Structure 1
Amino acid sequence: MAARHFVQRAARAAAAAIVAATLTGANAVAGPATPDAAAVAARIDGKPIYVFTLDTLWQQRRARKPALERRAALDDLVQVRLLAAHAGAPAPKEGASLTVAFAPDVVAEERLVATLREVYGKDIDAAVKALPGATLDSLVTAQQAMPPQQLEAVFGRPGQLKLEIALSDAQLSQAGAVEVLRYQLPGGEPAKVTLFNVYHRQNVQGRLALSQQPAAVAAQQARRIVANAFVQHWARQRFGAEAVADLRKALADGEAVVTLQQLHGVGLDTDSGSPLLNRLAGDASPQEIEAFYHRNKDQFARIDKIRARHIRVANETQAQRVLKALRGGADFAATARKMSRASDAAKGGDLGWISADGDRDWLASLAFSQQPGKPSAPIRAPVGPNETAYWEIVLVEEQVHGAHPLRSETVRYQASRMIALKKAMQQLSEMTDQARRSAQIEIAEVQ
């Protein structure tokens, strides 16, 4: 669908957002011309999508897809916003799975900063160079050593083994009272970073590192907080607070639609654990499965039976010599009669026809996994600890192809999953159409 490529770009931006927010600008793309902070590209039910949001995301995508037209980027942006609003997907709850992942507001900020850095990196670097000393260090107005007693009250005694860190309300309150540094953005009010601010921004690995070396890690992470604050401050000064908030919303919309699409199976295989796909697959009737089977029988192709031979030898060294001879052109049956230890050696190691149906021993299963006409690599037999080991080389001489039987579990499972995916995609398409029909969309002139 039209929105899919936009959302995939947003997802990639989200994945890149948690890396270090350096301010080197070495790989930053040149920013587009500064849009009017108040300019509106479109309105949906009276609510604006700013030109700044459009041009930022368009420029980001053009770095990878130069032929992308600005109007196409706007169409995608409108559709993503419509779908996110129509779906009403709730934001992740504060505190949910925070011992593993980053807090939602932290992810949103990192995603916003990463996007601004990618598109306007050179301009941001120029703003940093205009600071006293040409460094963000000039923004830091105070940084004192944190009292060890306060750190111990939050994280416990140093050296204790911890598998994860989950602070109590009392500990969080104490962390909020521990000041890491003070800073002041250009033209802004004095601000501070507390140990709570640093802790809140970490996932489980970061919190463990913070608990083990609180002073060093807190100081480093506090500088990152200042760097992010500077990027956002620069953007608000240049483009306006409302425009920057709109960009943040667009990125959040994209993430919400990615989640919605994954729920409906977009970008997933049919074995995914999507609750919707699982329910729709469970609802597939035998009649639907049979009809799907007859329309798509080629999707249920299998090898019905094979004819194979094998050579059994006592050790791997001998197996490698046999394989070398076979690859050199030696006849497999003649070699089996000469070298194999198996009871069927006199018959050239003939295993006869092996059917796909019914139980198969490990040798038959091995044969089914081989390409026809090519001797397999030597495989050690899965013998018990008190049994004598041996090696097998297998050659598939013929394959007979067919299809899985209609009443087989394979057909029931695969067909029901594919039916579910088709229904889910139809639901998503109808949701998208309904979102467009029910909204009042005004598009400004876009080149």
Structure 2
Amino acid sequence: MVISWERAFHAFGPARGGHELLDVLRRGELERYACEHPREGLDPYSFLWSALYCAGRITPATVLGLRYLASALTAEDFGGDDPTLREAVVWWLREVTRAVVDGTYLDQARRMARRRDDPAVNEWLDEYLRHERSVHDWGEGDEPGRVLLAAAEADCFDALPEVFEPVASLLVARQPERLRTVAASAAAALVRHPELHRRREAITAYHLAEAARGTPLHRASMLLGLGELGGPTLPWLDDPDLGVRVCAALAPDLAGTAAATRVLRSAALDPAALHHAFGDVRLPQLLSLNEAVAEALCERVEDLGPLLDGATAAVAYDGPAGDGVLCEPYLRKAFPRGVLHGGTDAHRALARAVAASDNPWRDDKRWTAVFARTGLPAEREAWLAAARSDG
């Protein structure tokens, strides 16, 4: 089955006109499009992120978008007068790459994809394209559609080598630093593909060189990339910039290093300072640097005691922290079965901190969601009782 835009679908339904939307994005004519199509359901930017990616959902339209954008990326006039559009597209390519490159279910997807030319699949697609229906609304009768989703995942994986050269061509000094930052992160993800392993050494060397120059955010991003690539980050644990030190310490290879743990524990004591380490600009790899620190500490440090100061600071912190609250990793570690009673002094101290803070008890939907996800009580009295318990 050959999938064209007229025969493709994305997360919310048929993808007809998708090529035109990406053309608008490529030319940087988003404002003009908005004026001419004030009632359209998807503008070009939301089409890219919501329809073609949708938090990791790979569809036949994702594959078409990947190939189109990879081929258009290096055009001199890409994005028109808006340089951030090229950055956004490289970031999108990186996220799609990360969604498929590990290939956890790739063999299963390839087996399912063998059925893509079955008459039943074609009949289902003909019927589906007559309606606007999200893949999230599918039921038992949509198994042929799932065959096409599996085929899309396999096709997307196979198309990744086409993306590398356009992305790598942006890693030159004449390109803006922010674009090079995002492109390097995309390249680090791409070289995990088996056909691109031979490029890994060169991309690692690029990250190593760039980690020694540029703005703190650029250097920190290079160190996250080095960690992902298995390169050395230990020399940066003493860097004068907080965000740079932390990103060096987050490298998986330093998980058992006491010096890296000290850096992370120190950073956890002042979440506000870490949040503002790079001003208002965030790293391309991480939604929340604070959350990454909390997750790493909870994974690397066995006992709750050494983490208590950081956990208490996280309870009191009311700033941005991913989709929830910063102390969620600590709560999961301390109370993995959703049971507050029977712990150590450190467990009772953490319960006391939660009970004493006003943050969880002022109708904060983020905290409500955290209590639901962790199975922990949403009543202050329960936390007070746990804090007073004898273990």
Place the TM-score, normalised by the shorter chain, in its bin.
under 0.3
Normalising by structure 2, what TM-score?
Answer: 0.23
Which is bigger in relative contact order (C-alpha 8 A, separation at least 6)? 1
**Which structure's residues are more often helix, by fraction?**
2
Structure possessing the higher radius of gyration over alpha carbons: 1
